[in-house]
Chains A and B, each alone.
Chain A
Amino acid sequence: MDNDVAIVAEGISKKYKIGAKQLASPTMRDLIADACIAPFKKIKSAIKGEHAVISGLEKTLWALQEISFEVKVGEVLGIVGHNGSGKSTLLKILSKITRPTHGQATLYGRLGSLLEVGTGFHPDLTGRENIFLNGAILGMKRKEIIRQFDEIVAFAEIDQFIDTPVKFYSSGMYIRLAFAVAAHLEPEILIVDEVLAVGDSRFQKKCLGKMENIAKQGRTVLFVSHNLPSVRNFCSKALLLQEGRLIAHGPTDAVLKEYLQSTTSFSAIKTWSPHECPSNGSFRFLSIRLLDTLQQEISSVHLSEDATIEIEYEVVKEGVHVGFSLILFDIDGNCIFSSPNNHEPHYYGKPLKSGIYRSKCCIHGDLLNEGRYTATIVGFCANRSDSITLDRIISFEAVDDGVLKGDFYGKFGGIVRPKLLWKTERKG
């Protein structure tokens, strides 16, 4: 065997059975009732856990299909893909939490798996006790925990509170402690699932720093994240999953490019036919359009000119409040800005009558730099839990028309290219 291979996955596949009754656990009372109808068969299959047979409905969902890849020792592999692409399922299989339906994987080295921060923490136990409990749950031996104890407490910055029950901690302290324990796991292979987006930015930097150290020490890391810039910074190679299949595996830049291309629509206009409008019961989207100053549809924007993103929607439930947020991303997935319409004077925060509305957001000229942009639009009602997110729904090109540039030669760096006010005075 190659001494420098850390993980070998061959043909990993995972199938789930879905039936209407699978979603709600049946009760023994149901079982007894069913049993009266067809005794032995029903009881036997129910106790075996084959609920789908009881319900009569059986659909199969392949969460993963024939995933094969190799990871070398010391590699940091990023795993990207939409929600539902199978990333978490793959991690669960590699972490032995669930077994594959087909296929196998071999991991050479001690495995540490971080799918959640603070697993097993109990509110009534003190910080000290939870460190030991959580460490043990993550697979650390007692001696290791004792050896690392002071470092863990220092990393979490909770020295004075180490002997207070964790239920009295602020959420920040809780998260810091949980991450501190997890960060001091010293496995040869580390699997991390999006746990880094925690804490304030200073602590996040600390966490990322610690992760970088781990990678530099020659450990192999599998890193699942939606935070594309951190995947880009941290990972030398990446894996792209889509609907359970392995679409790309290679250098990070190339894979991320493919990911963005597959998720980004290239159109500046999006309309839906009546039966497929995204809707949440209170309102529904009808179309999103990019317009110029003359209200004409365009697909590219001149840097010095205003551009308008128009959202056409229909309020179906009388009296709801509807608000929007426009989030703009550049080609690398960096967020340029986020703008809600909460200063709109006439309709924001007020109950709306049913009917069709158009909300327009004007991105003024001389703000954006050249390049391709995608827009995500979030629509929400007063109750934020039923918001609709249209991820990367339209995209457009911003083209330099030379107006701001004038006679300046050379490239304008920067995420934005605003026209700022310069004043010169003669002082004698």
Chain B
Amino acid sequence: MAIEKNIKKNVCEERSCSSHVLKIQSDLSTPLHLHDLWAYRELFFFLIWRDLKIRYKQTVLGVLWVILQPICTMLVFSLFFGKFAHLPSDGQIYPVFVLTALLPWLFFSNGLTTAGNSLVGDGNLIKKVYFPRIFIPLAKVFGGLVDFAIGLFLLIAIALFYGIFPTTRWLLIPFELIFILAATTGISIFFATLNVLFRDVKHILPFLVQIWLFVSPVVYPPSLIPEQGRLLYALNPMVGVIECFRWIILGTTTLTLGMLCVSLIMTVVIFVASLLYFNSIEEHFADVV
């Protein structure tokens, strides 16, 4: 009996019980469980690791797909939009022009489609275990960074092949990454949350992404848009994202400063709004998912 009491005392002291005080209240102590984001950071990486492992395990193509997707798309687009349709390409060689846009585009489209259904797909986790829920769609978006990195190597190889060399502008790539992440995260979280309430959002998403492809300057430059419409066009955050990346890699762009500002502001607005939206619906997740 005395020994047990001793053990109990030791457990308490060793773990310094009072340092781990968990308060459960009807409202969150910090929005989005910010205080828990750091504590659970390891789980975030585990979730990303899980998605990557699963992708590679399921198919042989899984590993190759990372390269095949941008290459095949580039070839098809170059043939049909570049060669047959004669779409302009800002004076650049069309394949390079389109591949530069494809990297951020694929990051966005893959991130949006996988994150869109993530909260419902991992509903089991939400109902049985606690961790900051934002990690679920966030892990899907951040998982795309691996694909982006591999795609970048591919882009460098193809650019070199066409005689385009890296310049000091390329040092701005990390800032571009922040831009892409902010835009993708904001939009993905909005749709992930919406999907919890309306289950057909996951069916609407592929269609939406298809349309979005044409509303973004992937296969054509922004100069194709009539001048009066350009600022409106820039409300699409991907306009700023893609053209910034083109400017960094290739040095040319038809993006104006005004358009860039519009895209940046839209990105920030969507990012903040979607996080607020997520936060307000989050308490219902376990009951609805």
Interface of A with B (CB < 8 Å)?
A: 1, 3, 6, 16, 25-29, 31, 46-49, 51, 73-74, 92-111, 113, 115-116, 119-120, 122, 124-125, 129, 132-133, 136-139, 141-142, 165, 188, 216-219
Contacts and interface: CB of A to CB of B under 8 A. Distances in A.
A108 B130 contact: no
Given A125-B57, A217-B7, A96 B24 contact: yes
B18 interface: yes
B262 interface: no
A96 B33 CA distance: 11
Contacts of B21: 106-108
Nearest to A5: B17
B20 A109 contact: yes
A49 B17 contact: no
Contacts of B125: 119-120, 137
Given A93-B24, A137-B131, A98 B286 contact: yes
Given A100-B26, A122-B54, A188 B198 contact: no
Contacts of A103: 26
Contacts of A16: 287
Contacts of A73: 8, 12, 17
Interface stretch (B146-154, B173-181, B276-284): B276-284
Interface in B129-152: 129-131
A98 B20 contact: no
Given A116-B128, A125-B54, A218-B12, A98 B287 contact: yes
Candidate in B40, B129, B131 with the most chain A CB atoms within 10 angstroms: B129
A100 B201 contact: no
B198 A31 contact: yes
A218 B7 contact: yes
A182 to B, nearest CB: 11
A237 to B, nearest CB: 16
A100 B42 contact: no
A122 B124 CA distance: 12
Given A16-B287, A104-B24, 16 more contacts: A25-B198, A27-B198, A28-B200, A47-B277, A95-B129, A97-B130, A99-B26, A100-B24, A103-B26, A106-B23, A107-B22, A108-B17, A137-B129, A216-B4, A216-B7, A219-B11
Please report whether the interface of chain B is mostly helix, strand, loop or mixed according to DSSP.
helix
Given A125-B57, A216-B7, A107 B24 contact: yes
Contacts of A165: 57
Contact of B283 (A25, A95, A98, A216): A98
B198 A28 contact: yes
A97 B286 contact: yes
A131 to B, nearest CB: 11
A124 B284 contact: no
A97 B23 CA distance: 13
B52 to A, nearest CB: 11
18 contacts: A26-B197, A49-B197, A73-B17, A92-B286, A95-B129, A99-B24, A99-B28, A99-B283, A100-B24, A107-B22, A108-B18, A108-B22, A111-B22, A129-B53, A133-B50, A139-B43, A139-B131, A219-B11
B27 to A, nearest CB: 7
A338 B280 CA distance: 51
B128 A97 contact: yes
A51 B197 CA distance: 9
B204 A28 contact: yes
B288 interface: yes
A124 B58 contact: yes
B18 to A, nearest CB: 6
Nearest to A29: B200
A252 B284 CA distance: 34
Interface in B178-231: 194, 197-201, 204
Contacts of B11: 188, 217-219
Contacts of A102: 26
Contacts of A101: 26
Given A104-B26, A137-B43, A48 B280 contact: yes
A105 B18 contact: no
Nearest to A95: B130
Closest CB pairs A-B (n = 6) = A218-B8, A96-B130, A136-B46, A107-B22, A27-B200, A105-B24
Contacts of A3: 12, 17-18
Candidate in B23, B42, B194 with the most chain A CB atoms within 10 angstroms: B42
B127 interface: yes
Contacts of A138: 129
A150 B51 CA distance: 25
B25 interface: yes
Contacts of B8: 73-74, 217-218
Contacts of B15: 109-110, 188
B129 A115 contact: yes
Contacts of B286: 92, 97-98
A99 B26 CA distance: 5
B43 to A, nearest CB: 5
B42 A141 contact: yes
A97 B17 contact: no
Contacts of A132: 46
Contacts of A6: 17
A106 B17 contact: no
Candidate in B40, B197, B284 with the most chain A CB atoms within 10 angstroms: B197
Contacts of B130: 95-97, 113
Contacts of A129: 53
A218 B124 CA distance: 31
Interface string B102-121: 00000000000000000000
B275 interface: no
Contacts of A29: 200
Given A25-B199, A110-B20, A142 B26 contact: no
Candidate in B25, B43, B58 with the most chain A CB atoms within 10 angstroms: B43
Nearest to B3: A216
B32 interface: no
B196 to A, nearest CB: 8
B152 to A, nearest CB: 28
